[in-house]
Structures are given as C-alpha cells and as structure tokens.
Amino acid sequence: MIENSIIPDAARAGATNSDDVAPIFARDFGDFTWGAATSAYQIEGAHNADGKVDSIWDTFVRRRGKIKSRESGAVACDHYRRFDSDVALMRDLSLQAYRFSIAWTRIFNAPRTRANDKGIDYYQRLIDALLEAGIEPFVTLYHWDLPQYLENTGGWTNRDTISYFCDYATECARRFGDRVRNFIVFNEPMIFLSLGYLLGIHAPGRRGFKNFFAASHNVLLAQAEAAREMRRHLPNAQIGTTISATAAYAASASTRDTAATTRFDTLYNTFYLEPVIGRGYPTQNFPVLKKIEKYIQPGDMEKIKFDFDFWGLNTYTRKIVRYSRYLPYTHWRELKNAPNTRATALNWEIYPEAIYDLLKKYSAYPEIKKIYITENGAAFHDELVAGRVADHNRIDYLKSHLREIARARNEGAKVAGYFVWSLLDNFEWAEGYHARFGLVHNNFLTQARRIKDSGYWYRDFIRGKTHC
C-alpha cells in the first residue's frame, strides 16, 4: 500500500490539475525517453501468415462468450502488413522510442524446431525501419501470447515451458540483439496470471489456485533464466521486465482496512517483484499466498533472482480498498468510483497522483536501478468527426500524469522514460475494440489511420513546443 495515504484527494500537497500551475516542458525531465507502446496480438493481425501458428489468444477468442461482440485480433490493425506506414506515423509523432512485442508463434511454430525465417525477417524489417526513422526499439518478449502447442502440454503450469521460453529468448537475442539495445522479458505477470490462470477471463481461460500458483512460480523462474541467457549473449544490452502497478489506498484508517489494503498491495504490486530482487515471496501478511510454497523446489529462490537493468511499470488508475468479511481469501473489496470523480471509458478512475506515489514507492527499493513507465494512457469513446478526433479528455489525462511524473522525478524518483499506451487503437483483449486507447485513431473496417488531437499534442510536447 502507499503509506500514509488514506483517500488523499484534494488535501494532497502538490496535487496538480489546477490551471495556475507552472508549465513543465519535456526538457524539464532532463535525459528522458518519450515513446508509445503496443503488443503483437493487439495490433499485428495476420494471425496465420508466413508460418505463424496459433497462440492461446488465437484459440481463446474462438470460445463463445469470452470476448465482447465476439471480436478477435485475427486482423486487428493489420500492422503486420502496414508497419512501414505505421513507422512513418511514429516519425510524424516525433517518437523517440517504440515499445512492441514479438509474437513467439511467429518465431517458433512447433516445439524444438528451427526458427521460422519469415517471422524473424518480419521483425528484422520492423526494427530496421524504426532505426532508420531514428526510433529506439524497446522489445517485449512476452505480451501474453503463449504458443497453443505449449498450452497443450500444460502451458505455464508445466515447468518444461521454462526451457522453451529460454530457447525463444536466446533466439531473439541472437537474431535481434545486434540492433536492439532494450529488451523487456515479460509484460505484467500479475495480470495475465490472475486473469488467465485464476479467474479464467483471459487466455488460456484456466481457473483455480493450483493453476495460478504453479504458473506464477514458473513464469518468474522463466523470467530470470531467460534474462540470464540474454545477458550472456548480449552483455551490453539493457535487460528489463515490466510489471503492472495499481496504487492502493485504504478506505479508512481502521486496522482492518489498512491490513486489507496491504494485502491488495502485496498481490497487485510486490508479489512479482520481491522474489526477483532477492526478498522472497511476500507472503507474511497474506496467508493464501503461502500456497505458492508447494511449487518451490530446492534452489529455486536463487534461480528466480535477476538483477534487471530497469523495471517497467504499467499503471492507469488507483483503487480504494475496504475490508470485507464476505470475500474469501482476500477479505477485501474495491470501492466503486465516487460519483464526483472522473473516469475513462473502462470506468477506471482518473487519479494522476497514483503515478507519483508508485514512482516514489518503487524508487525506494535500492535493488531497482531505473524505471520506465512502459504503459500509461486512457480509453475513451473517441469519435472521428470531419476528419478529426478532438480527444481533449486524453490530453488532460496525459498532462496530469506527466506533471506527477515530473514531481516524482524532481524528488529523486528513478524514472527515465514514458510510453503512452497506446500508439494505435487496438484489440483490448476481452473488451474487444470498443475501448480506444490510441494516439492514432484506427478505422477497423478500412484500416485508415488518423492522428488524434492527443497525438498532435504529444508530438508538440516531445518537440518542446508545448507543456504539461
């Protein structure tokens, strides 16, 4: 939990949002990287092109009732075929960096086989186009799209998947490491493991503690083993990994509410961090998490550690947490957004101070050397009217969050860059296409792209012509 922060709201010193605050320009952030992010399944489409096989998301979207409006990422933004013009858009936006993920199923289309040259070639061309445009690639190895052939043998619940992941990471290091300096091993373990292995609402649709804890432990082992392989092959690369983070505030100062908030914070914010930095699983105050111990083999807690060059944080909103005697295991409930608070199209409360609190929280870990905000942004019901998307709500969101990042950085937070989620409107998993996060609007029927007002604002901000 964020210490001493009980529903802080307007009382918080330094809270921004008023009009009479001093302007902050990109240059005020000093040496900082400005980018945007996407992931393979959410934008590439071309789901069976050039030797690509099914991932768990290709199969999951075919299951009735799993995705709103029965949509899928089979075509998505067709970025696989349009990456050249999308890189031109990134250049128009003056992006300095672009975070994207590699689809494992384009690289290896069967277990223990030769890598698929066409898949490799696609990413090499994308990377070359980025470098040519002066845009630094930040490459995520795993953004949730496990090969279905591995799911068929147990997926992340099977320890054998660790060595398959290491082979894949090694291949990426060998084939892309000559031109990529920044790698991110996993995207948001907490999210894909809880939604995909505990609650069954994301791929692969499994449920229950057994799946969740076995998969969680194996993912963290795979993360460290793969990172070690990559560092061995690429001693000069920056190897990082990305976690999701949600600032949690207690609904009251009562002991029960603060203890519930600590449990929430443990699961959401530290469970997938602390073992990696050598502190072990933080199970002390949250008994159900001890179930993971059943999956720990001798030597694992050494193997699970890795000294990452940077940590990516993805963060969007906050939660206010209250104790609940009725909810088993966690004994908390998240309060609904208060009526007077602003929220996005996914009803995520807009609370910029959360990013400040999180940056302070993670910067306090001596083991964390550097942080990138690898995702932050907002979904709104954007409309293209007479060729323009006037998404001023998104501009406000970005400005208010950037101001909080500047505040944290001025106070010593180790943050070195910011990536808007997302470059393009894209496939928002179980939500389908209705949640538009892009700086660039996409017409999913024609694939016509249009830079939104927020994209122009971000471009001008990066160029130093406007401020937040």
- The pairing of strands 318-323 and 415-421 is unpaired
Whose Cβ is closer to ligand IFM: residue 42's or residue 270's? Answer: 42
Binding-site member from 145, 188, 257, 353 for ligand IFM (CB under 6 A): 188
Q: Which residues are catalytic?
A: 188, 375
Whose Cβ is closer to ligand IFM: residue 186's or residue 421's? Answer: 421
Whose Cβ is closer to ligand IFM: residue 224's or residue 313's? Answer: 313
Binding-site member from 428, 441, 449, 451 for ligand IFM (CB under 6 A): 428
Hey, what amino acid is at 124?
A: Q
Least distance CB 287 / ligand IFM (angstroms):
29
Binding-site member from 314, 376, 400, 454 for ligand IFM (CB under 6 A): 314
Least distance CB 414 / ligand IFM (angstroms):
21
Hey, what amino acid is at 108?
A: F
Whose Cβ is closer to ligand IFM: residue 262's or residue 442's? Answer: 442
Name residues whose C-beta falls within 8 Å of residue 446's C-beta, 6 or more positions apart in sequence: none
- The pairing of strands 371-376 and 415-421 is parallel
Q: Which two tokens stand for residue 442?
A: 């996409």
Binding-site member from 5, 16, 33, 39 for ligand IFM (CB under 6 A): 39
C-alpha distances out from residue 149 to 42, 142, 156, Å: 20, 16, 12
Q: DSSP code of 110?
A: S
Least distance CB 42 / ligand IFM (angstroms):
6
Size of the site for ligand IFM (CB under 6 A): 7
Helix axes 160-176, 117-132, angle to 10 degrees: 50
CA 259 vs. chain centroid, Å, equals 27
Q: For residue 150, which of 104, 198, 210 has the smallest C-alpha distance?
A: 104
Whose Cβ is closer to ligand IFM: residue 275's or residue 312's? Answer: 312
- The pairing of strands 318-323 and 332-334 is antiparallel
Residues 419, 374: Cα–Cα separation, whole Å:
5
Contact 459, 93 (CB under 8 A): yes
Q: For residue 441, which of 431, 449, 433 has the smallest C-alpha distance?
A: 449
Least distance CB 315 / ligand IFM (angstroms):
9
Whose Cβ is closer to ligand IFM: residue 42's or residue 105's? Answer: 42
| Site membership for ligand IFM, residue 375 (CB under 6 A) | yes
Helix (H, G, I), strand (E, B) or coil at 147: strand
Whose Cβ is closer to ligand IFM: residue 94's or residue 242's? Answer: 242
Least distance CB 312 / ligand IFM (angstroms):
11
Hey, what amino acid is at 257?
A: D
x/- contact string, 392-421, with ligand IFM (CB under 6 A)? -----------------------------x
Residues 288, 285: Cα–Cα separation, whole Å:
9
**Region of 277 on the Ramachandran plot (φ > 0 left; ψ -120 to 50 alpha; else beta):** alpha
Contact 222, 165 (CB under 8 A): yes
Whose Cβ is closer to ligand IFM: residue 164's or residue 429's? Answer: 429
C-alpha distances out from residue 284 to 46, 210, 259, 275, 290, Å: 46, 20, 12, 13, 8
Helix (H, G, I), strand (E, B) or coil at 66: coil
Whose Cβ is closer to ligand IFM: residue 268's or residue 421's? Answer: 421
Name residues whose C-beta falls within 8 Å of residue 82's C-beta, 6 or more positions apart in sequence: 447
**Region of 46 on the Ramachandran plot (φ > 0 left; ψ -120 to 50 alpha; else beta):** left
Name residues whose C-beta falls within 8 Å of residue 164's C-beta, 6 or more positions apart in sequence: 108, 111, 112, 150
| Site membership for ligand IFM, residue 192 (CB under 6 A) | no
Least distance CB 421 / ligand IFM (angstroms):
5
Per CB under 6 A, residues contacting ligand IFM are 39, 42, 188, 314, 375, 421, 428
